[in-house]
Amino acid sequence: MSEKIAIYPGSFDPPTNGHLDILARALNLFDHIIIAVTESEHKKSLFTVEERVKMLHTVTSGMQHVTVDSFKGLLVRYVKEKKASAIIRGLRAISDFEYEFQMALMNRHLGLKETASIETVYLMPSENFTYLSSSLVKEVVRLGGDIDSFVPESIAIELKKKLKYA
């Protein structure tokens, strides 16, 4: 039987405990997860792709069956290249659903042209993280708030350095 590989794409700017919660849940369903960092065209990133990949390497270093990578271009092409069968997405609230639904349908449509069907698997984070987003974490840091329960310590250090609160 072949290994079940899933891609967990996102900007991860920065990675949060919510992202790690989704990752842990996905590892219960798939043999291998590739965290795929991408540059978002419609978001101004605080960290470079390389910095985000490095942070994710740090916070996942003790996890088996996890690879961190980056990509450009169409996600479905990346999924095909990595021989993955699924895309992992986190759903925090109903407000996420419409966008995620549109993206899943587009990926499915494009995927049929590129390769066999690609499934999108939605996972809900722990209720402790349903309100958590990278944007919100950055805003809390900018305002001098405590983010220790939102991100791993190494991420908090990088955020404070980048935003000059260290």
- CATH numbers and ranges of domains, the chain: 5-130 (3.40.50.620)
For the chain, what is the mean pLDDT? 88
Per-residue pLDDT, 115: 53
pTM of the model: 0.89
- Which band of pLDDT confidence, cut at 50, 70 and 90, is reported for residue 37? very high
The question of whether 142 is a catalytic residue gets the answer no
**Residue 94 confidence class, pLDDT cut points 50, 70, 90:** low
Residue bearing the bigger pLDDT, 108 or 148: 148
Q: Would the pLDDT of 79 be above 70?
A: yes
* The pLDDT of residue 93: 67
- Catalytic residue (choose from 11, 85, 134, 138): 134
Residue 113 pLDDT exceeds 90: no
Residue among 92, 108, 160, 162 flagged as catalytic: 92
- What pLDDT was estimated at residue 76? 87
Do the Cβ atoms of 68 and 35 come closer than 8 Å?
yes
Using an 8 Å Cβ cutoff, are 8 and 23 in contact? yes
CA distance 91 to 123: 6
CA-based R_g, the chain, Å: 16
CB-based burial, 132-146: b 16+ in 10 Å, e otherwise = bbbeebbeebeeeee
Q: At 143, is the secondary structure helix, strand, or coil?
A: coil
Q: Indicate which residue of 43, 65, 83, 161 is catalytic.
A: 43
Percent with pLDDT over 70 in the chain: 87
Query: What would the mean pLDDT of 116-129 be, rounded to a whole number?
Result: 86
Q: Is 92 a catalytic residue?
A: yes
CB 33 within 8 A of CB 1: no
Alpha helices in 28-149 (DSSP H): 49-60, 75-81, 94-114, 134-142
**Given a cut of 90, is residue 40 above it in pLDDT?**
no
pLDDT score of 52: 97
Residue closest to 92 by CA, chosen among 7, 16, 39 = 16
Q: Is 23 exposed, middle or buried (0-12, 13-18, 19+ CB in 10 A)?
A: buried
**Which DSSP symbol is given to 140?**
H
pLDDT tier at 20 (50, 70, 90 boundaries)?
A: very high
The position carrying tokens 């109903």 is 94
